[in-house]
Structure 1
Amino acid sequence: MSKKTLVIGASLKTERYSNKAINALIKKNVEVVAIGLREGTVAGVSIDVDKIDYQNINTVTLYLNPKRQEEYYRYIISLQPKRVIFNPRTENFYFIKLLKEENIESEIACTLVLLATNQY
């Protein structure tokens, strides 16, 4: 397993893109941890409702609108991931600026497309 990924905005609903991303990451043998509004399990991944001090996070992939991201700024920066992926409709240029100041890469992209095209 590689590129341990934190999915923020994880959903138990199968039609949600965060749910599809968890499944796709697992199929690509990526270690996944997740935070969402409700506890549960997706593809064997437990969804936490608290901000856990996860270790060795390579990538954070966001499924929260920019307003909802605000409460996660310090938390995500504290994890010191290599990169943060802003999926469609999560683009947040203020947060991207904060990440850059902390030498954390950001990418406006779709996790599902990156995985499907072997660019993850």
Structure 2
Amino acid sequence: VVYNSSGINLLEMLLEAFSLEEITNFECISTENQCTLEHLMKGKNNSLVHIGEQKLKNALTCKLYHADENIEIFEYMGSNKIYTLISKGVNEKSLCANRECGLNMLKYN
């Protein structure tokens, strides 16, 4: 997901960071069809808090909360409700609009 949305191969960057040799061949992929993936939990006053995926290990069940062409939301039940929001767009502007729509679904439902 990070690779597709940013055009940067994070594995290649990590390899360079921990190796003695410099890697200079960073090829950029298309910036079209961007995607983000976020893990969220409701905080105080229905605010959404970003959390790490390690919180998912306590989930007892997972169900599809919402799905359409540009937004997928999964709901994990456990001691707290946790959501995974996957937003897609053909460019950065549409990605941001779809992401905001998904965040609003979670905030106000």
TM-score (norm 2): 0.24
